[in-house]
Amino acid sequence: MDVSGLIGIEHLTDEELDAILKDVEARGRAVHGGKPAGPIRGRPGKRVEDLEAASSKVGKPA
Decide if 46 is inside a domain.
yes
Decide if 62 is inside a domain.
no
Decide if 52 is inside a domain.
yes
If one compares 3 and 58, the residue with the highest pLDDT of the two is: 58
Residue 12: name the closest of 40, 45, 21 by CA. 21
Q: How far is 3 from 16, CA to CA, in rounded Å? A: 9
Domain hosting 53: range is: 9-57
Q: How far is 45 from 4, CA to CA, in rounded Å? A: 13
Label residues 22-39 b or e (16+ Cβ within 10 Å = b). Answer: eeeeeeeeeeeeeeeeee
Distances in Å between the Cα of 21 and the Cα atoms of 24, 50, 54 are: 5, 30, 34
Instruction: Write the pLDDT tens digit of every residue in 2-45.
Output: 656 656 777 788 998 899 899 889 989 999 899 887 766 666 66
Q: Does residue 58 carry a pLDDT above 80? A: no
Decide if 51 is inside a domain.
yes
Task: Give me the pLDDT at residue 45, please.
Answer: 62
Decide if 1 is inside a domain.
no
Decide if 27 is inside a domain.
yes
Considering its fold, how many domains does the chain have in total?
1
pTM over 0.85: no
